[in-house]
Amino acid sequence: MNPPSSRRRVAIACQGGGSHTAFTAGVLSRCFDEDVLENYEFVGLSGTSGGAICALVAWSTLVRGHPERAAALLERFWSANSASLPVERVVNSMMLWGARVAEQFGAPTLSPYDSFLSAWSLEHLRTMVNSVIDFEGLTELATEDAAPLLLLGSVDVVSGRLRTFNSRHGEISADAVLSSAAIPSMFRSVSMHGGAYWDGLMTQNPPLRGLMDAAPDELWVIQVNPTSIDYEPSTVSEIANRRNELAGNLALLQELSSLEIFDELIARGELKSERVRPVTIRLMEMQRPPSALRWNATSKLNRDPRFIRELITLGTQQADDFLASIEFERHWQRGDGDSMLDHVARGATISVDVPGVHIAATDDPDEVQNFFTHQLHDLVSLNLTRKRVFRNAVSWELRVHGPDQLATATAEARFQDSLVTRFRLAPPTH
């Protein structure tokens, strides 16, 4: 393994979203593979709700010096959390249909404080967490100077104050992660430190600013709620689902915007401080499978083993393409067109529509080669102060070279099996 100084320092933030965070487990499993750890040092993780559990599991392997165990432990948790037994599958189906009926017809719901099942479910979750995480001695290891940082997002129900449980303060425990996962409609609040805590989905989903204390070079955000969708919601189910997604993204997008403003001020030389450093922001957004679309927001309650496995596999595959896109970008930044071509599939298409240059979509090998080795670097450069967004494709904001120094553009590269299959330069999207 390379010495730490040769690796990029990365913090990973894991958004909450119930069963959808099985996708996050797949992403983290791939990120903690040996070939990735050779190039990246994970200096901090954060999470909320299901994202908090995934972050905790992965972080614990870093703290104990065995990151190669992350995939197995994440698999163990999600296997235990799946509705595998016949009676569990019946209960899972009843919950899904009950939630769908309530969503469609406004059927009355039972308060978790009036339900024995709610209290039992929270304790069952505690048992699953304890079966995967050995908390004994973890606090002592976590508070050492070189230990990676973990932040878990929660909120005090009564005071309304945000609470971020911080590993460097010795605050990581089963209660801390349960408080971050205590969905108000399903669980009673978790009482600790004189407060009553719910998950932080509406307030910090997930915590971002605190991760800057780990001094990362890059911030990778695993987002399970889509920022944009391809249609206007019209049915009751679609509207409820979109409201759920927008609410879950509200705090995340606000924090990302703040971090981008800091990066831009630093790049302009208008902000100089030893405590503030630029950070590359990469946003990996889950590409929802059809099985999630079928149930909309209710699918976040779905514990069907096939659904969980589908999301984990999707996360692993999307992480592969995400990591390939970073390598592609590195070669771009260095102006190494030949190495960029190594990441371009045979038959890939390119198209360009920026001021002064228009190339209709083409897969001609000579044109594609000339574009990446010569034209691209003369046309545009990466705007390093803006986040890179990856879903089914990765997009970058660019600066166009030419007399108008304020001209901007957007690049989009679609990946398949870690290779670029389509690359497009176009006017900026708004």
Catalytic site residues? Answer: 49, 199
Comparing CA positions, the residue from 131, 93, 56 lying closest to residue 301 is: 93
Nearest to 259 by CA among 271, 247, 248: 271
Cα–Cα nearest to 49, from 178, 156, 158: 178
Q: DSSP for 167-204?
A: GGGT--SHHHHHHHH--TTTSPPEEETTEEEEE-TTT-
Helix (H) or strand (E) holding 247: helix 236-268
* Cβ atoms of 308 and 82 closer than 8 Å: yes
Q: For residue 152, which of 319, 15, 312, 301 has the smallest C-alpha distance?
A: 15
Q: From CA 25, how far away is CA 7, in angstroms rounded? A: 23
List alpha helices for 82-216, DSSP H.
86-105, 116-132, 138-142, 174-181
